[in-house]
Structure 1
Amino acid sequence: MQFALTEEQDMLVETVRRFVEEELYPHEALVEKTDEVPDNLAAEIKRKAIELGLYAANMPVEVGGGGLDAVGLALLERELGRANYALQMVVARPSNILQGCTGAQRERWLLPAVRGDRVDCLAMTEPGAGSDVRSMKTKAVRRHDAKLGDSYVINGQKHFISHADKADFIILFAVTGTEETKRGPRNQISGFLVDKDTPGLTVRPGPHALSHRGYHNCELYFDDCVVAADQLLGEEGKGFDLMSEWLGATRLTVAATSVGRARRVMEETLAWAGQRKQFGQPISQFQGVSFPLADLAVELEAADLLTLRAAWLLDQGKATDADFAMAKLAASEMLGKLTDRAIQTFGGMGLMDTLPIAGWWKDARVERIWDGTSEIQRLIIARQMLRPREGR
């Protein structure tokens, strides 16, 4: 069993780490203060990321992407995760689901997203449908017009849609029908590619979030919004198949970025504990300070290994939803505990906005919620554990 990174992987980590420290860290204070990434700054970061080959690193080489495998992508996400989220998301990883584009869709949406000419966002969540995606109410009704051809009329609302304010188009999931199951009727979900300037679509700022300054959530309103039939992504009613094929590993992103941020928090906390003196000695000499950090160091390394293991299994075609869930659960919960312990170690200074500690603490809280809450991750893990034994 080989745990060491390859020479190529080491070079990737070094390149991304240097980019983060030189191109992203210097602008964090500005973004934290203003809650915005200025357009000119975003353009410059994007340009440099493209030059280094870091932009669209998750996309295949044949469409112009970086072609990283799952382990390489986890390493990239881990290093980018050290930085302010709004800044590191400028180094875009277009949604993998765009690989489901066919025909003219590739030229209109996939390839521009890979080049950095257009930015996508993913719209699934609704006020009454978070983790329970099938309970969404946004509907797309197919219609036929003798002159205009086939199209879909979309009505409904989405919320908590990340960076829709910066996106050029939306990967939308909506109800297109129902099907009968043993448990009764169930919504059939379909995917659509919707340009943000489409009539009938309104994008509004969402409620102000405490986590991730500069990275905004939005609300989307569809009022008789008409899209052509060729904007259907995949087959009608097969939206869940698309999600399973392309979106299953998104929880690895949360796990990897949580590990990266945790390493930065740990480094800063250890440095503080080593130089901060009380009662004539560094506070790191007190077991009340050092022992909790030792416990969290164990959890950090375990989360890192679980994340890389899940990525490796994905590359081997053997990963399960439980593997991704374990990585996300371990990493996000660990980050929450570590940032809380960092505040305790820094004491009163940890809550002051002159240091980034309180910001990291606030940012960490959302990681246990988005891309599936910790409770959902436990449900996924438990189901996989118990399914073989059910009925015995």
Structure 2
Amino acid sequence: MTKTAVTYSFRESLSMPHQELQKRAQQFAEEVLMPYELQCEENNGLDRESLQTINQAVMDWGFNAINHSKEDGGQGLTIFEQMIVNEQLGKVTNAIWDTVFQPAFPMQFGTKQQKEEYLIPTNQGKRRDAYAITEEKAGSDPQQCLTRADRVDGGYRINGEKWFVTVGDVADYLLVHAHVDGKPELATVFFVDKDLPGVKVKRTPLYTHNFVYEHPEFIFEDVFVDDSKVLGQVGEGYDLTKDWFVEARLGIAARCIGAAIRATETANDFAANRTQFGKSIRDFQAIEFKLADMAVDIMAAKSMLYRVCWDISESKDRKVNHARAAALKLYCSEMAGRVCDEAVQILGGRGYMRENPVERLWRDVRVDRIWEGTSEIQRVIIGGQIKKRGLGLYVD
């Protein structure tokens, strides 16, 4: 008697519209983005023509600004739907997922003028933003930022330095987190056009990964911006930046799931077809157990991802969302690190070759335990929330 394989996937538990969105995002990742992976790896980036081609494809496929409203030129997807897309994008190496631009969430709080000047054209792929927070002496604690915006007639003069400004090489304006008159309690976010006098690139460091975009360091020397460049209100900067962190951490978590899935699929296929000592290496418990642990890691993380993103889609509680996003980012980023490392081990020498996606994923996901808040900072957030709200926030 022939046994019929029974299959089940998370996709089957999704609504039909969500299944269709997932399938379309998967097709976009595989058909549009993945063909550029080796070019990006070999050149530590993509040329202008390639970026323009991808930018147009993002618009044509309807994946532009999935995190902003249709009224502002975006796609108006919920947090849960954004997660579905980001999970598929995370399977693409070299952070080419970042070409699928998702302008900073806090810009939704901009004035009509700011939306017309910045948000709407950015959502339409005509402009590009970059968020500038980190400094030499201020990373995990933004209150230690030394970048200041001093009040002057008609506006502010910004002085300071920002590090790790992801996408800063192609962005034409920055969202700069600065302290008005040097006061942390007056943390404020400013729109700063890169072509303003006094805005300079200090240097562009090299990193472990070969990403599609760079992470330059910027210097601001007496950069004048008028009052219309304040996002939200003076003193709201910390809350706006936390909102940005929540969105960024959810995106990281989703992409980590995608990266782990691709790495595991690649390792599983290799193990099934690689023969040593007269049989497939997947039949050896040393490999079989690795694949089992990788699958369970993904299952647990994905279950958590789907639940939390669904809950946040329905929640307007900033503090609760911030707390749960921290837990999600912590677990998924550390899971992806474990899984991708095991995938490299299963492929052996091949897994250490840059032409292999598991090697690139292994390098790519390492930063996910660092940027937008280290794993240690996520634990600080989680521990603090347990003290304030009790364990129920995480275990009920």
| Aligned with 2:267 (options 266, 269, 275) | 269
Summarize deviations over 1:334-375 as a string: whole Å, max 9, x none.
110111111111112211233232222111110100111111
More moved, 111-120 vs 303-312: 303-312
Cross-structure match for 1:162? 166
Query: Per the alignment, do residues 205 and 83 of structure 1 end up closer, same or farther by CA in structure 2, a change over 3 Å counting?
Result: farther
Distance in 2 (CA, whole Å) between partners of 1:3 and 1:373 is 34
Which of 11-20 and 304-313 deviates more? Answer: 304-313
**1:356 maps to which residue?**
357
Q: Please give the alpha-carbon distance, in whole angstroms, between the structure 2 residues aligned to 1:386 and 1:104.
A: 42
CA-to-aligned-CA distance 1:240-270 (integer Å, 9 cap, x gap): 1323445433210110000011111010000
- Structure 2 Cα separation of the partners of residues 107 and 8 of structure 1: 31
Structure 2 residues without counterparts, runs of 5 or longer: 1-10, 392-396
**What's the TM-score once normalised by structure 1's chain length?**
0.93
Letter in 1 for 2:110: C
Distance in 2 (CA, whole Å) between partners of 1:246 and 1:89 is: 16
Instruction: Report the equivalent of 1:147.
Output: none
Cα gap change, 1:349 to 1:65, in 2 (>3 Å)? same
Greater share of strand residues, 1 or 2?
A: 1
- 2:234 corresponds to 1:240: no
Task: Look up the match of 1:153.
Answer: 157
> Are residue 172 (structure 1) and residue 170 (structure 2) matched?
no
Correspondence for 1:344: 345
Q: After superposition, where does 1:157-236 map in structure 2 within 5 Å?
A: 157-177=161-181, 186-236=184-234
Distance in 1 between residues matched to 2:361 and 2:309, nearest whole Å:
25
The residue matched to 2:211 in structure 1 has which SS?
A: coil
Instruction: Decide whether the 8 Å contact of 2:204 with 2:214 is kept in 1.
Output: yes
Distance 1:167 1:58 in 2: 18
Secondary structure of 2:186's counterpart equals strand
Count of matched residue positions in the alignment of Structure 1 and Structure 2: 378
- Matches of 2:47 and 2:358, distance apart in 1: 23
| Aligned residues of 1:123 and 1:158 also touching (Cα < 8 A) | yes
Amino acid at match of 2:369: R
Q: In the alignment, which of 105, 122, 126 is matched to residue 113 of structure 1?
A: 122
Which of 89, 100, 107 lines up with 2:109 in the alignment?
A: 100
Structure 1 residues without counterparts, runs of 5 or longer: 145-149, 180-185
- After TM superposition, the score normalised by the length of structure 2 is 0.92
Aligned counterparts of 1:44 and 1:350: Cα–Cα separation in 2 = 30
Contact 2:351 2:359 in 1 (8 A): yes
Match for residue 66 of structure 2 among 57, 63, 67: 57
Deviation, 1:92, is 0.5
1: CA distance between counterparts of 2:78 and 2:336?
A: 25
**Which of 42, 45, 66 is the equivalent residue of 1:36?**
45
**Structure 1 91/315 Cα, relative in aligned 2: closer, same or farther at 3 Å?**
same
The Cα shift of 1:90 comes to: 1.1
Structure 2: how far apart are the matches of 1:379 and 1:293?
32
> Which amino acid in structure 2 is aligned with residue 289 of structure 1?
I
Match of 2:89 in 1: 80
Distance 2:144 2:386 in 1: 26
Percent identity, aligned pairs only?
Answer: 35
Q: What do the CA deviations read for 1:171-201 (whole angstroms, capped 9, x no partner)?
A: 111011466xxxxxx5421110011100000
Per the TM alignment, residue 309 of structure 1 is displaced from its structure 2 partner at its CA by: 1.4
**Farther off after superposition, 267-276 or 355-364:** 355-364
* 1:209-237 deviations in Å (ceiling 9; x for gaps): 11243321110100111111111111112
> Are 2:122 and 2:128, in contact at CA under 8 Å, matched by a contact in 1?
yes
Q: Verify: 1:367 aligned to 2:346, yes or no.
A: no
RMSD, aligned α-carbons: 1.7
Closer/same/farther in 2, CA of residues 135 and 11 from structure 1, 3 Å limit: same
**8 Å contact 1:57–1:66 — kept in the other structure?**
yes
The amino acid that maps onto 2:370 is I
The alpha carbon displacement at 1:3 in A equals 8.2
- Between Structure 1 and Structure 2, the one with more helix by share is 2
1:384 equivalent to 2:382? Answer no
Q: In the alignment, does 2:32 pair up with 1:23?
A: yes
Instruction: Check conservation: 1:143, 1:153, Cα contact below 8 A.
Output: yes
Residues 249 and 91 (structure 1), Cα distance of their counterparts in 2 relative to 1, 3 Å cut:
closer
Q: Name the amino acid aligned to 1:74.
A: M
Equivalent AA in structure 2 for residue 255 of structure 1: A
> Cα distance, 1:388 vs. partner?
4.2
How many Å separate the matches in 2 of 1:89 and 1:342? 24
